[in-house]
Structure 1
Amino acid sequence: SEFYKRRERALGTMTTSVVGDPFMNEASILITLATVHFIALMSPGPDVALVVQNATRYGRQTGVYIALGLTFGILLHSLLSLTGVSYLVHQQPLLFALLQLCGGSYLLYLGSGALRATLANWSQAPGELSSKPELLLSNKRQAFSRGFMTNILNPKALVFFVSLMSTLVPAGMSLGGKSLALLILWSLSLLWFAALAWMLSTQRLQRKLQAASRYIDLLCGAIFTLIGVMILWQSLTGLLG
């Protein structure tokens, strides 16, 4: 999709000066890593859609816990990519296809549930919470889990972090440098998603967004469904091909 193509173009553009330069110090590597990652964070995708949907519907606290779940998913992806585990999974067609199957199914579950509940409750007043279980997040743990699972089961995220780490982080980088890289990726992710949740849940904006909440749910549900179907198609193609 265009979203992931833009990520790859951003990664390629920012890393042109990194590859093949043996004298680049760790500070420069970390700055480039942070820049590429932040560009990727701001690109629209399932993570952003999840924060927008839930911060709009449930408010700041739920949005922040969704953000925390997403960032710990990103941290785990980063760690697995840095240690080479994700690369091994990516190089095994069957394992990667199974990951795609799980990730696509989960996104399709979120998307179809949101669409069904939104359409079934279309006659409710704007902003009124649905009784449908697919849309309800009753506590912090559920919000965190939904954010974490949405990110960690996304095979596109695995591919992105494998590319990011293999391109930018040299094997000879110090343990301190690698640890700092993980901290930077996690901190930037938390800053962006928490700030997004915070902005969407301010009182003035919340009043305006509540009036359009059913349309936001519908749009986010469509995004999850579309990406889920695309990932499932890639998974089935990989398994049957």
Structure 2
Amino acid sequence: MNEASILITLAGVHFVALMSPGPDVALVVQNATRYGRQTGIYIALGLSFGILLHSLLSITGISYLVHQQPVLFALLQLGGGSYLLYLGFGALKATIANWNSAAEIAPADKKALLLSNKKQAFSLGFMTNILNPKALVFFVSLMSTLVPASMSVTGKGFALLILWGLSLIWFTCLAWMLSTERLQTKLNQASRYIDLLCGVIFSLIGLTILWQSLTSFIH
């Protein structure tokens, strides 16, 4: 298989994975729905750079070495699972607190959130992705299967660019679609239910990762 075919296959597999429900998608849905387009786009930017770092670590073999060290990988699972659980409990706590209050954020408050939280939104996206041990395993598998060690430096550079670019485009488009004026009005009315769903998703994934971490320590 030539390098062009490898890159096309890599792009296809990665794009399918991006559309699969997970913490990345839940994070964009929750925040773009509640805080608007700008926050959603900065989260998309953070997520895409997290994916770029995962890809770089995988293509250089660093992630593989981490994955082969049971204690180190278990610690990564512990940290990542705890972080996702923290996000889940935060979303659930906010849902309970706001259940009997107005779900819609006032325009002035929303504007303040957008202007003050660009770095926070980027960091949230970046940390959510980079601390996800499932992402590490995915990119180790993806790179070891589809990107041969003999691939040229230029080919590997294009592979990294494709993985980062597709991620940025997908998450940005998702944030953009969820924050159109007409859809924003409808989604804002259901924001408490969206927060609840995202909180459950974060919590379940976090608990699953923590359980896997604890069982790996036991065994």
Per the normalisation by structure 2, the TM-score is 0.95
In structure 2, runs of 5+ residues without a counterpart are 107-112
The residue that corresponds to 2:139 in the other structure is 161
Q: State the AA in 2 paired with 1:178.
A: K
The residue that corresponds to 2:119 in the other structure is 141
Displacement over 3 Å in runs of 4+:
none
In 1, the alpha carbon distance for the partners of 2:98 and 2:188 equals: 15
The answer to whether residue 19 in structure 2 is matched with residue 74 in structure 1 is no
The residue that corresponds to 1:37 in the other structure is 14
Q: State the AA in 2 paired with 1:101.
A: L
In 1, the alpha carbon distance for the partners of 2:41 and 2:99 equals: 27
Question: 2:68 aligned to 67, 70, 91, which one?
Answer: 91
The residue that corresponds to 2:109 in the other structure is none
Per the normalisation by structure 1, the TM-score is 0.86
The residue that corresponds to 1:183 in the other structure is 161
Q: State the AA in 1 paired with 2:166.
A: L
* Larger helix share, 1 or 2: 2
What is the deviation of 1:118?
A: 1.2
- Residues 1-241 of structure 1: matches in 2 within 5 Å? 24-128=1-105, 138-241=116-219
In 2, the alpha carbon distance for the partners of 1:56 and 1:127 equals: 10
What is the deviation of 1:92?
A: 0.5
What is the deviation of 1:128?
A: 2.8
In 1, the alpha carbon distance for the partners of 2:187 and 2:175 equals: 13
Identity %: 81
> Which whole-Å deviations, capped at 9, do the CAs of 1:150-202 have from their partners, x for residues lacking one?
00000000000000000000111000000000000000000000000000000
In 2, the alpha carbon distance for the partners of 1:49 and 1:127 equals: 19
Q: State the AA in 2 paired with 1:87.
A: Y
> Which whole-Å deviations, capped at 9, do the CAs of 1:128-165 have from their partners, x for residues lacking one?
37xxxxxx774100000000000000000000000000
Q: State the AA in 2 paired with 1:188.
A: L
Alignment length, in residue pairs? Answer: 212
What is the deviation of 1:218?
A: 0.5
Q: State the AA in 1 paired with 2:92.
A: L
In structure 1, runs of 5+ residues without a counterpart are 1-23, 130-135
If asked which structure has higher relative contact order (CA below 8 Å, sep 6+), I would say: 2
Q: State the AA in 2 paired with 1:230.
A: T
In 1, the alpha carbon distance for the partners of 2:94 and 2:188 equals: 16
Q: State the AA in 2 paired with 1:170.
A: P
Q: State the AA in 1 paired with 2:103.
A: P
In 2, the alpha carbon distance for the partners of 1:202 and 1:161 equals: 32
What is the deviation of 1:120?
A: 1.3
Q: State the AA in 2 paired with 1:96.
A: F
Q: State the AA in 1 paired with 2:183.
A: L
What is the deviation of 1:126?
A: 2.0
